[in-house]
Amino acid sequence: MHAAEMKALIQLHDGYANTQTGPNIDDLSPFVALQDVPVPTPGDGQALIKVHLAAVNPSDIHFIKGEYGQPRVKGMPAGFEAVGQVVAGDTPLMGQRVSFFASASGAWAEYAMTDAARLIPCRPDLAETDAAGQLVNPLTAIAMFDLVKESGAESFVLNAAGSQLGKLLIVLGRDHGIAPIAVVRRAAQADMLRALGAADVIVTGEEDPVEAARAIFKASKPRILLDAVGDQVTADLFFAMPSHAVWVNYGKLATEAPRLTQLGQMIFQNKRIEGFWLTRWMQQVDPARIPAAFAEIQERFVTGKWTTDVAGIVPLSDAMTQLPQVLAKLDGKAFIDPRQ
């Protein structure tokens, strides 16, 4: 039997904040608090998971700040994804190690709850840090790369290319022979991204990045721009891309509102702007695509084709003070360990 009470990072607000401050955070205390709360009880079709390790993604920070596309629920634990062991609920996976998206009770807690049908069994040789974060970033990478493959182009463009997700996408591009054109802010990242498989690197901090991009785009004719930033440089790169380009926005690292300076390209060059949301993709995709994607994801991590860069693992009990420092590191992913 599991305990009746648990520690968790509890949301302090309901709904949305109507701010746009981006995914940076210096201080968690306006948004969550470490509290003792009852362990949730799984209802029909739900499973309770003892959390081993929870991932911290930009979307988690957007969410607790009230800037994500889903409303906050005051009193509920935060945290979207984790790995853990199934300890209760009506599921044949009882006792097994699973990755999961915590849809019913958040993952920054000793126990989390979710739909039993959405549990992802983990291979025993999959590392905890890979398992904790195998959903939000890796599945998004696989799903968005399907768009790249469907575009039929020989290359694609991605920004925030030094992010965890960016690196997964670059490796996918390299492995499938579709040249990744990586957009980053800092020149220091360029060599690492080239070593990973980026065919070209555009550094937005340098002079005239859009002109540099134009020459690259002219040669390799990318059609998909995978955008986690949403700033003016992104818009300018989109307008520098060839006909039929699609700007796929999936995140908002920048707080500025980009201008559509060449709206006529939508008409005459058949360009398009749309968004990608993993939650919607999972609802709409052929259900058979999802287990196939997780088989590929785990194989990639286990064989070293993909790696998880760990910025730091903070104990749940110290997360309020330690998490912002780990998140401030420019490379790698932060985790919360509720067993410490």
Give the span between the Cα atoms of 156 and 184, in whole angstroms.
Answer: 14
The yes or no reply on residue 223 touching a copy of itself (CB under 8 A) is no
Given a contact cutoff of 8 angstroms between Cβ atoms, the answer to whether 52 and 110 are in contact is: no
In whole angstroms, the minimum distance from the beta carbon of 259 to a copy of itself comes to 4
Neighbours of 127 (CB within 10 A): 15
Cβ proximity to a copy of itself, 24 vs 270, nearer residue:
270
Cβ proximity to a copy of itself, 186 vs 272, nearer residue:
272
Cβ proximity to a copy of itself, 48 vs 253, nearer residue:
253
Cβ proximity to a copy of itself, 262 vs 322, nearer residue:
262
Cβ proximity to a copy of itself, 274 vs 318, nearer residue:
274
Neighbours of 58 (CB within 10 A): 23
In whole angstroms, the minimum distance from the beta carbon of 232 to a copy of itself comes to 10
In whole angstroms, the minimum distance from the beta carbon of 150 to a copy of itself comes to 16
The yes or no reply on residue 96 touching a copy of itself (CB under 8 A) is no
Footprint (CB under 8 A) of a copy of itself, residues 65-94:
67-70
> What contacts 281, CB < 8 A, 6 or more positions away?
143
Footprint (CB under 8 A) of a copy of itself, residues 257-286:
257-261, 263-277, 280
> What contacts 246, CB < 8 A, 6 or more positions away?
147, 151, 223, 224, 225, 271, 272, 273, 274
Q: How far is CA 4 from CA 37, 146, 174, 186, in A?
A: 9, 44, 49, 48
Could you give the string, one character per residue 228-257, with x where binding to a copy of itself holds by CB under 8 A and - elsewhere? Answer: --x----x-------------xxxx----x
Cβ proximity to a copy of itself, 252 vs 333, nearer residue:
252
In whole angstroms, the minimum distance from the beta carbon of 299 to a copy of itself comes to 28
Given a contact cutoff of 8 angstroms between Cβ atoms, the answer to whether 79 and 62 are in contact is: no
Nearest to 185 by CA among 173, 201, 171: 201
H-helix or E-strand containing 132?
A: helix 128-132
Residues that contact a copy of itself, how many (by CB under 8 A) = 31
The yes or no reply on residue 22 touching a copy of itself (CB under 8 A) is no
Pairing of strands 310-315, 200-203: unpaired
| DSSP helix/strand/coil, 113 | strand
In whole angstroms, the minimum distance from the beta carbon of 337 to a copy of itself comes to 30
> What contacts 154, CB < 8 A, 6 or more positions away?
178, 179, 220, 221, 222
In whole angstroms, the minimum distance from the beta carbon of 67 to a copy of itself comes to 8
Cβ proximity to a copy of itself, 145 vs 250, nearer residue:
250
CA 278 to chain centre: 9
In whole angstroms, the minimum distance from the beta carbon of 295 to a copy of itself comes to 27
In whole angstroms, the minimum distance from the beta carbon of 182 to a copy of itself comes to 21
Give the span between the Cα atoms of 141 and 124, in whole angstroms.
Answer: 23
Footprint of a copy of itself on this chain (CB under 8 A)?
Answer: 67-70, 230, 235, 249-252, 257-261, 263-277, 280
